């Protein structure tokens, strides 16, 4: 088998399409599984430091002012809601990015793979 520039190009494009689509499919599956398996409560537990900030005193006029229990509960509720919304938005961003990457790499594989197979088969 002789290697011409066209064969090398098709081989590299096919391999990039193959391995890239496998990686993109794995990343897509990971994003979906992580979102499905990890509950909002579990996610909040991993982001506890953001919720813990609600218990810290506030700065007003360059002095520390302690928060009341009602203010802490309100802050925790708002922080939890923002984190849940942020989680859903991040999931959608990851889903879109991985889906686009997967489609583009599958197009690359689908257009270059058959051409590479045809050239190598014709040579035999």
Over residues 35-62, mean pLDDT = 84
Q: Is the pLDDT of residue 104 over 90?
A: yes
Over residues 54-74, mean pLDDT = 84
Q: Per residue in 81-101, pLDDT tens? A: 999 999 999 999 999 999 999
Please state the pTM of the whole predicted model: 0.73
Domain ranges of the chain: 5-123
Instruction: Measure the CA–CA gap between 92 and 65, rounded to whole angstroms.
Output: 38
Contact 119, 10 (CB under 8 A): yes
Q: Give me the pLDDT at residue 1, please.
A: 65
Instruction: Measure the CA–CA gap between 39 and 74, rounded to whole angstroms.
Output: 22
Please give the mean pLDDT across all residues of the chain. Answer: 90
Beta-carbon contacts of residue 35 (< 8 Å; ≥ 6 apart): 87, 91
């Amino acid at each position: 088998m002789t290697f011409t520039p066209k064969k090398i190009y098709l081989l590299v494009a096919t391999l990039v399409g193959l391995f890239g689509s496998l990686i993109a499919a794995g990343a897509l599956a990971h994003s979906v599984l992580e979102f499905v398996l990890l509950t909002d409560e579990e996610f909040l537990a991993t982001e506890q430091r953001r919720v813990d900030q609600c218990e810290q005193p506030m700065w007003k006029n360059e002095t520390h002012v302690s928060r009341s229990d009602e203010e802490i509960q309100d802050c925790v509720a708002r922080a939890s809601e923002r984190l849940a919304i942020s989680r859903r938005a991040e999931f959608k961003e990851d889903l879109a990015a991985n889906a686009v990457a997967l489609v583009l790499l599958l197009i690359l594989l689908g257009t270059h793979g058959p051409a590479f197979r045809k050239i190598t088969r014709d040579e035999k």
